[in-house]
Amino acid sequence: MREDGDVLRLASGSPGETIRIGAAVGSALEAGDIVALIGDLGTGKTCITSGIARGLGVPEAYYITSPTFTLINEYPGRIPLYHLDMYRLAGSADLDDMGVEEYVYGSGVMVIEWAEKMADRLPRNAVRITLEHDGEEKRKIEISAEFDKRTSIRKALEEGGFR
């Protein structure tokens, strides 16, 4: 892990490692946090979300999949997880009728795939995670967040063995 300005840079070598990175991030999150996931198809946005779920204390019995028939999947945990996927939506205006803002100001953590599609509505304090392909099983993962949040995430990653 490298810290570069307000960005933490990591490399993942496997889906399992991405899940462990997500779990560390999740353990550092608090109710009300928003995580914006940005990255191409198959970079691991859903994979890292399943790790974040573990870090939030969502029981293992819940298998994390992208919401398809509903806009948001909701999972119970130490902190509830709301999982939103913007992939099929044209843009943030599509959120208007869906009560998304209620979740955003709610008591859980909101994780958003394809968050760039609602860039105009992301709060400044959102945790931004970008994922990039770097070969078959390798991914570059960059996490940016405001100072306090970044510090807790960095500590959790260090405790998780990412140094």
Ligand X SMILES: Nc1ncnc2c1ncn2[C@@H]1O[C@H](COP(=O)(O)OP(=O)(O)OP(=O)(O)O)[C@@H](O)[C@H]1O
Q: Please report, as ranges, the residues that interact with ligand X according to CB under 6 A.
A: 12, 14-15, 17-18, 39, 41-47, 66, 113, 137, 139
Binding letters toward Mg ion, positions 52-71, x by CB under 5 A: --------------x-----
Q: Does 152 bind Mg ion (CB under 5 A)?
A: no
Nearer to ligand X by C-beta: 42 or 59?
42
- The sheet that has 127-133: what strands, in order across it? 2-4, 7-12, 139-144, 127-133, 34-38, 109-113, 81-85, 72-75
By the rule CB under 5 A, 45 interacts with Mg ion: yes
Minimum CB–partner distance for residue 22 and Mg ion (Å) = 13
Region of 9-17, 38-46, 102-110, 153-161 interacting with Mg ion (CB under 5 A): 38-46
The listed partner (ligand X, Mg ion, none) that binds 117, CB under 5 to 8 Å by sort, is none
What CA–CA distance (Å, rounded) separates 78 from 22? 16
Residue owning tokens 């490298």: 2
Tell me if residue 156 falls in helix, strand or coil.
helix
Reduced to 3 states (helix: H, G, I; strand: E, B; else coil), residue 90 is coil
Q: Are 31 and 110 in contact (CB under 8 A)?
A: no
Q: Which is nearer to Mg ion, 49 or 150 (CB)?
A: 49
